């Protein structure tokens, strides 16, 4: 869980098939309100990393 009551999944297989994650959550009676697929490149990672250290 993140600070915003979000589930963060970083498994590459899950990122390729987010519909499987949604299906599993529904089967466990935890239907997602929204699903975001977020990827970042090296520049975005760098900016996020230095921003969090300030």
DSSP letter for each residue of 21-47: HHHHHHHTT---S--------HHHHHH
Residue 31 belongs to some domain of the structure? yes
Question: What is the extent of the structural domain holding 31?
Answer: 12-52
Residue 2 belongs to some domain of the structure? no
Query: What's the pLDDT at 7?
Result: 83
pLDDT tens digits in sequence order for the chain, 54 residues long: 556 778 888 888 888 888 998 999 999 998 988 888 888 889 988 998 888 776
Residue 5 belongs to some domain of the structure? no
Q: What is the total count of domains within the chain?
A: 1
Residue 1 belongs to some domain of the structure? no
Query: What's the pLDDT at 2?
Result: 58
Residue 35 belongs to some domain of the structure? yes
Residue 41 belongs to some domain of the structure? yes
Query: What's the pLDDT at 54?
Result: 64
């Amino acid at each position: 869980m993140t600070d915003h009551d979000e589930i963060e999944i970083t498994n590459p297989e899950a990122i390729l098939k987010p519909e499987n994650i949604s299906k599993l959550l529904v089967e466990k009676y935890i239907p997602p309100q929204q699903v975001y697929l977020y990827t970042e490149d090296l520049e975005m990672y760098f900016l996020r990393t230095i921003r969090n250290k300030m």
